[in-house]
């Protein structure tokens, strides 16, 4: 146990060195997890509420990667969905901080790639880190609506690769700005069919979520977390 802890600390430290000294490299450190638990029937995020452990102290021009493992530990089959919402007002100390956070989250670019064993990698979203759809031809998807991640049988897994891109020309006004967005994972449980298949349990379609809580309503479960916490460390521009 002690050796594992030491290894984890070294990994995080080495990644920090890359972040501070190499502005144009893809860097990654610690993976995070989204787990649908068996006994509690809740979706939980590990190791904590912030899934984006690697999106800290980033530099202009960087592309930073975060791997998020999806694991259905329940004995039932579920359909898992993902959507994004703006962070709630009470997550900011002032209206000014909220405004600049929203500015930055719409400047940063996010790409989500879903990996499922035995299937080709699939881009499920590409666009503003806020998840809001815009008209650019380079963008794909709309995170303000539920995105189906797939049907997960008991003990099955998948992986989401999140790539955050920071424009090289990012202005100094965003130095040390913390940007936030809320991600909500929800799922439909699937009951066993007569012929051994599965059918959707449609007994309840309401979803109630809080910023840092999970609520189960019969067939729907949603877990919401503030998962993008970005500290942008800008290098001062030197006069030519």
**What are the pLDDT digits (tens) for 118-145?**
899 999 999 998 888 877 767 788 899 9
Please answer whether residues 187 and 169 qualify as being in contact, where contact means their C-beta atoms are separated by less than 8 angstroms. Answer: no
Q: 112 in a domain, yes or no?
A: yes
Q: Tell me the pLDDT tens digit for each residue of 147-187.
A: 999 999 999 999 999 999 988 888 878 887 888 888 888 88
Burial class (CB in 10 A: 0-12, 13-18, 19+), 82: buried
Q: State how far the Cα of 149 lies from the Cα of 122, in Å rounded to an integer.
A: 10
Output the pLDDT for position 173: 83
Which structural domain, as residue segments, surrounds residue 26?
2-75+86-142+155-180
Q: 176 in a domain, yes or no?
A: yes
DSSP state of 174: G
Q: How many domains does the chain have?
A: 1
Structure-block tokens of residue 70: 């999806």
Q: 217 in a domain, yes or no?
A: no
Q: 231 in a domain, yes or no?
A: no
pTM of the complete model: 0.70
Q: 150 in a domain, yes or no?
A: no
Q: 173 in a domain, yes or no?
A: yes
- Cβ neighbours of 137 (radius 10 Å): 5
Q: 175 in a domain, yes or no?
A: yes
Q: 39 in a domain, yes or no?
A: yes
Mean pLDDT of the chain: 70
Which strand (E) or helix (H) includes residue 13? helix 2-21
């Amino acid at each position: 146990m002690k050796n594992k802890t030491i290894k984890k600390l070294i990994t995080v430290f080495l990644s920090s060195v890359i972040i501070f000294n190499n502005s144009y490299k893809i860097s990654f450190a610690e993976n995070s997890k989204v787990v649908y638990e068996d006994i509690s029937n809740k979706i939980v995020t590990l190791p904590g509420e912030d899934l984006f452990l690697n999106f800290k102290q980033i530099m202009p021009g960087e592309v930073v990667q975060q791997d998020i493992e999806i694991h259905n530990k329940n004995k039932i089959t579920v359909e898992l969905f993902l959507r994004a919402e703006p962070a709630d007002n009470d997550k900011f100390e002032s209206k000014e901080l909220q405004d600049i956070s929203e500015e930055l989250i719409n400047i940063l670019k996010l790409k989500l790639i879903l990996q499922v064993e035995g299937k080709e990698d699939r881009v499920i979203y590409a666009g503003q880190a806020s998840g809001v759809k815009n008209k650019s031809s380079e963008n794909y998807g709309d995170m303000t609506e539920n995105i189906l991640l797939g049907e997960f049988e008991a003990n099955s897994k998948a992986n989401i690769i999140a790539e955050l891109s920071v424009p090289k020309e990012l202005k100094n006004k965003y130095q040390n700005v913390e940007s936030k967005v809320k991600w909500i994972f929800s799922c439909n449980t699937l009951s066993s069919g007569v012929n051994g298949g599965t059918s959707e349990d449609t007994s309840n379609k309401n979803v109630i979520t809080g910023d840092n809580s999970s609520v189960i309503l019969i067939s729907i479960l949603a877990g919401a977390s503030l998962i993008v916490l970005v500290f942008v460390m800008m290098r001062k521009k030197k006069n030519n």
